[in-house]
Structure 1
Amino acid sequence: MTQKAACFPPQVRLREPAEFKRVFAKAERSTDKYFTVLAIVNELDFPRLGLAIAKKNIRRAVDRNKIKRSARESFRLQQHEMINIDIVVMARRDAATANSKILQASLDNHWLRLNKRCATYS
């Protein structure tokens, strides 16, 4: 039995503006009190994550960094159950005051929801 490594290498990150634009253009959307998460099927064999945590919504850098860490960690642990999708996570104002466990639970629900929605397109 082989276990896949739970890591976050550079190839599973969205980096280029064109990659983000592609997701924003025609994406499946999942929203709750803390996050809006967009996803679209990609042509690769693995999911990728992009973060768009706006200073307009989350004022303090400390809070933005906490949210980014939570999103990366949740993605890192769940990426092997996901299909090949590009994901962009956007934080809402309530995410700044939530603790890490609440953020993790919220993101786990988003991953499941988007996996089901995007599976019909792949």
Structure 2
Amino acid sequence: RKRALKTAFALFQLMGFEFFRRLPIFRLVWRRNKIQNDEFYVSNVAVDKNYRGMGYGRKLMLFAEEVAKQKGFKKICLDVENTNIQAIELYKRLGYVGTRVNRINIKNVRFAFIRMEKILSS
């Protein structure tokens, strides 16, 4: 719970009040996409728009992969909104593969999230 609050606060700092508009979406995605015991789940990755394209997202993901390996996980996964093409391309370059799409309707607006996974090498 404490970690979830820290994550929410960090997202609010990055997104401002847009965070509250998207909060129902975040909750539904987290509830619907079950995480298996052997999967290390990356909940949120965000890079300030002023620093995108500088390799920080890549470094964050590689760090997450190292943490997952150190904890003994063989697979890492995340969910990304299907309209976030830049992030999807980054994850693909890092070896992630889309495994399924989760569609959510909120107030007549349709959202789709791609589950992306990567098998971690030793």
Q: TM-score normalized by structure 2?
A: 0.27
Q: Relative contact order: is structure 1 or structure 2 higher (C-alpha 8 Å, sep ≥ 6)? A: 1
Highest Rg: 1 or 2? 2
- Structure richer in strand, relative to its length: 2
